[in-house]
Every structure is written in C-alpha cells, then in structure tokens.
Chain A
Amino acid sequence: MNPRLYPLAATIAIFLLAWVICVMQFPYMLSTRVVGNLLTDNAYLGIVAVGMTVVILSGGIDLSVGSVIAFSGVFIAVMLRDSGLHPLVVFALLLVVTSAFGAAMGWLIHALAMPPFIVTLAGMFLARGAAYMLTIDSVPIDHAFYDLLDDAYYLMPGKGRLTLIGVVMLLTVLVGMIVAHRTRFGASVFALGGGEATARLMGVKVGRTTVAIYAFSGLMAGLSGIVFSIYTSSGYPLATVGTELTAIAAVVIGGTLLTGGAGFVFGTLIGVLTMGLIQTYIVFDGTLSSWWTKIIIGLLLLAFILLQKGLLRVTTARAGA
C-alpha cells in the first residue's frame, strides 16, 4: 500500500473499531436510525469541515467559519421575515455574500502577506458582529418551503431517515474530494501546502489560488449555514460558537496534516463521524457526563496526532533509506 494512505487507513480502522465496540455494548447502534441521525446531526459540521480541509491542505487556517454559519442563519431568517423573497433566491444571495467574504479574506492574506490566523480572526469578529447587527434575538423561520425541506427524507429499511441535509453533506464531501484530488485547483492547493516558494516556481498562481481557497471555504460555510438553518428552523447570532475549532479537530482526526500539503477530504468525513459517534455513545450510555465528551475528543485528537507523527517518521525514514 502507498505509505501516504496510512493515515487515512488508520482513521477508517479506528472509526470502524470504535463502532464495533459501541455495537458490542449497545447492539441497537448498528441500526439505520442511528446512521441516519449521525448524518443529519453532523451535516452542517461535515460541510464546513470540507472547506476547512481545503484551507488546511494549503497550509492556512480559517477561523471565521463558525461566525459565518451564524451570520448565514440570521441572514436567511431576517430576509425571509422582511423581504418576501423565495428561500432559493435568499440562498443564492447568501452564498454570493459568504463566498465574496471568503475571497476578501484570501485577498487580504495574499496582498498584506499577513498570517491567515489573524486575518480570519478579524473575519470571525466581523461576521459575528454583522450577525448581531442584523438581530440579537433568535428569529424563527416559518415558511412553507422550509417545512418541505424539513420533511424531505428517504425512509431506509429499519425506519432510519436519510434526510435531505444528510444527503447534501455526503454530496458536498464527494464534490470536495473531486475538487481537492482531481482538479488543477486542487493540485495548486496541495502545491501551496508544500511551500509557497516552491509552488510559485512550479507555476502556481499563488494570489489567485489563495483567493479561491478562502472563497471556497466561505462558500462551504454559507452552505453549512443553510443546512444549519434547516436543521434548527431558526437564525440565532450566538449559534455555532467555536465550530471552527471542532471543524479543525475533525480535519486533524481525519488524517490531514495541519502543516498542509498532505491529507484527504474523505478522511475529514470519517473525522466528523468519529466525533459524532462519541457523542452518540455518550447519549446511549446515559451515565457518562457531557464533559467526558470534551475530554475524550481531546484525547482522541492527541492519539491521532501521535499516530500521524509516528507514521510520518516511519515513511520519511523509509524514503531516506
């Protein structure tokens, strides 16, 4: 097997092992209901994590996504309440706004040669602040089209519901995989993650790629905001605080190196599902307190990073020999 696939294989193996352990304790966890809920509950996280994967592959980071999701929800709720536009028009408007927002951050990062961390931190404040300025209350979404979206699901055998937003998440991961691994843009992203100077020498248009990367992340955050608004049927400016860090953790658990240049979009899906599985297990168990979720996710994060470091050492030693 290609040594580059080791982290991905390890991620999948750990996920399956964890599921087997869960099923051994609670046989019902093998039902399609649990699977359906796992996909539905983590749909918004999975989508935003795809964007984060591309950003991290390029060696950057995007701290603004949690705020952008909250902004999206508020934007949709307020627009539907005040303007009478069809939700699909609002969705299109929103995706344009969030993509432009991401592109602006990418441009700043490139033009000012500032670290992405601090530029997207400013973006995080700005998006959250913009959400506050629209409203400080939780605005319910009450629209016939939303009821339609809410009720759209495929009943799997075993009465599990494969909801629309779950399918959207899976499709997004698929699109993310194609974009990252099968397009010229994806190749540029990987090259950039390997090193900006070398990427430039290879003929990668660094400025254009950087703008596109953060615009893509903004687009994903907007899409995630739409899904989150369908999931909660409301817009709330204080929602999804800290989601950017959960997304980063999912990406790291998924086997993508934070230094950039190595990783898989599919791994991110597994990372998201692993974190969802832990939460499901804690719900099933019922005696474990919710703080154990946080501690276990932290320990898992450590375990995955150590595993990656070990694998990296093994592969570089082999390459050196």
Chain B
Amino acid sequence: MTALRRVTPQLLTLAALVALVTLFFPDFLRIEVVNGRLVGPIMDILKRGAPVGLLAVGMTLVIATRGIDLSVGTTMAITGAVAAWSITQGYGLGGALALALLAGVLAGLWNGTLVAIIGIQPIVATLILMTSGRGIAQLVTEGRILTFSHDGMAFFGSGDLLGIPAPALLWGLTAVAVALLMRRSALGMLIEAVGVNRAASALAGVNATVLLIAVYVASGLCAALAGIVATADIRGADANNAGLWLELDAILAVVIGGNSLLGGRFSIAASVLGALIIQTVDTGILLAGFPSEYNLVIKAGLVLVILVLQSPNLAHHWYALRRAAQARRERAMDTAKETGQ
C-alpha cells in the first residue's frame, strides 16, 4: 500500500500524459494483434523505452548512494560494439552475450574503483569513461559501423515472446528482479544507508566500499543489457551514436521518479515509471502531430514543472502554510467557544 502511494504522483503524471495524447491522437490506447504479436502505440512505447528503462534501474541504485553515473550511454556503445564484434568473429550468441555483459561489468568495476577506493567524486570519475569510452568503442569497431546478421542476436531488438516485444520483456523483468532483490533482502536498506551517510554506515558495520563498487557494477550490467538491445535493434554497432546522451535521460527518469540526487531512499518502480513518462512524451509529441522540434522544449517544461512540485523548499512552504491555516482555525474555534460561553 505504501509502495503504491510512493508512485502515485508518477502514475498520475503518466495518466495525465496518456489522456492528453489520446485527446490529440484517439487511437493511442488501441492495441491490435497482428501475426500473433501485440501492436500499438503503447507497445511501441514499451519497446522504444527499453534502453532508458534499463539504464534507469541501474542509475537509481547509483543515485541512491549519492552518486551519479555519466558513463552509461558510453558503456552501451562499448557493450554494443563488443556484442557485434563477437558475433562477426563467430563466438556465437552465448559468447557474444557473455562478452558484452563482461564488458559492462568491467566498466562498472572501473567506475566503482575510482569512486569507492580512490575516492574521486562520482561525476568526474564517470566523466572519464564517458569521454574515453566512445574511443574504446570505436577501437573495437575500428571506426566503422559494424553490421551483422544473426537471428538469435536480432531477437533482443525486434523479436517477441508471447506477443510482447523482447526489449519490453527484458526491461520489465530486469526492473522486477532488481526491485525484488532490493526489497526482499536487506540490500536496498544498506544502499540507502550508504547514501545517507557513508561514514556512519561504515561505522555501523556496512561494507560501504564493496556496496559502492557493486552499485556501479549493477549500473554497468544494466547498461550492457541496454547496449545489447540497441545493437540488436539496428543489427549493427554504431560507436558514435549508440546510447548518445541517454545517461541524461536516465538521470531525468530517476529524478522524475521522485528520487533525490542527494541519495537515500529510492524506488525502482518510480524510476521505471519516470522512463515511461519520458518515452510517452517523446512518442506522444510525434503521434499528436507536433513537429519534433517542439520535443525538447516540451520536455524541458515538463521537467521544470516536476522540479517545482518536488522542490524541498516548496514542500516546506506548503507545510508552513497548512500549519498556519490550522492554527488560525483553532484560534477561530477558541474565540467562537469563548463568545459562546
């Protein structure tokens, strides 16, 4: 019940957006079955939102520790390049997936080591991989767009299972699995403890260093999954453009999900809803017939509204106003009683 209350603002925003888009594009909610797979704008959003949705899961954990991971978009490019390279080298589907995930883990280990052991601020530590990572990805693809034809690999981009697109299934399952792991074990609480106060949590017996590294590795793994989806979708690895600026969308998704950039309490469900909101805006603007030039301005406006609503200052003023109003009411009742006597 409390979990539902936590994501109510995000659900309301999403519902309002869906209603708004439906107003301009009446067929928005229609889902048809074509050749045994579900087809419709909603399915399209679930499918297109997969990379940001996946990144948002890992990013939520990183942000909960008061960190930030700017390198996830680049990690997508690296893992995508590794996956495409291993397919063309004939390592097979299993080998390609394993190598891509391994690349994601390595990226996470690199970031985690810089943050947790060397003690570099997360934003700079991950900036290093962000700037150099595209170079690494280009090194793997040798500066070309590495294309491949492999039906098993392409499944992760355009395949479907029980009528549901594979990318949608993948990010849904990842979100549920990570959320369960966090909330059915003490892991989630420990991560929150590190985010609130690393020194205090370490004194309380939490292995903050290992936990911090693990969080960045989780983010790298999520980025690897997103990279596989992106590469499989276009059946090729584009080192320059794969996942470009998606880290910003992922951070935005986490913030729209009501998670504080200052760490502490987090909700994966809310972040994933945030990713859905972003994708609904993107797709909705196109479907509603607005020119796509308006996309960014509308997005910025939306972010501003959400920021104002979530501002700690505003909440403070709101409580102060309510308390003042309550005090005034009580005083009015007291005087009413006195005059009544």
Contacts and interface: CB of A to CB of B under 8 A. Distances in A.
A245 interface: yes
A245 B133 CA distance: 14
B295 interface: yes
Contacts of A306: 118
B308 A301 contact: no
Contacts of A130: 297
Contact of B121 (A112, A132, A136, A258): A258
Contact of B128 (A117, A125, A292, A301): A301
B221 interface: no
Interface in A263-300: 289-299
A258 B124 CA distance: 8
Interface in B65-107: 68, 70
A129 B138 contact: no
A60 B245 CA distance: 21
A259 B252 contact: no
Contact of B130 (A133, A245, A252, A290): A245
B143 interface: yes
A245 B308 CA distance: 26
Contacts of A132: 293-297
Given A113-B313, A259-B121, A302 B128 contact: yes
B265 interface: no
A295 B143 contact: no
The interface residues of chain A, by DSSP majority, are classed as helix
Given A125-B300, A128-B296, A113 B311 contact: yes
Given A112-B314, A132-B296, A305-B120, A121 B252 contact: yes
B261 interface: yes
B52 interface: no
Contacts of A133: 293-294, 297
Nearest to A292: B135
Interface centre among B121, B132, B136, B298 (most CB of A within 10 A): B132
Interface centre among B239, B297, B301, B311 (most CB of A within 10 A): B297
Interface residues of B, number: 48
Interface string A111-127: 11111011101111110
Contact of A112 (B70, B128, B129, B308): B308
A295 B132 contact: yes
A248 interface: yes
A115 B303 contact: no
A248 B125 CA distance: 12
Given A118-B261, A123-B300, A309-B118, A295 B135 contact: yes
A298 B128 contact: yes
A249 interface: yes
A297 B130 CA distance: 11
Contacts of B340: none
Interface centre among B127, B129, B298, B308 (most CB of A within 10 A): B127
Q: Closest 3 interchain pairs by CB?
A: A298-B132, A129-B296, A294-B135
Interface of A: 61, 108, 111-115, 117-119, 121-126, 128-130, 132-133, 136, 241, 245-246, 248-249, 252, 258-259, 289-299, 301-302, 305-306, 309
17 contacts: A113-B313, A117-B123, A122-B300, A126-B297, A129-B299, A249-B127, A252-B127, A258-B123, A290-B143, A291-B136, A294-B132, A295-B132, A301-B128, A301-B131, A302-B114, A302-B128, A305-B120
Given A125-B297, A298-B135, A305-B120, 8 more contacts: A115-B261, A125-B303, A132-B295, A249-B127, A290-B138, A291-B139, A294-B138, A302-B128
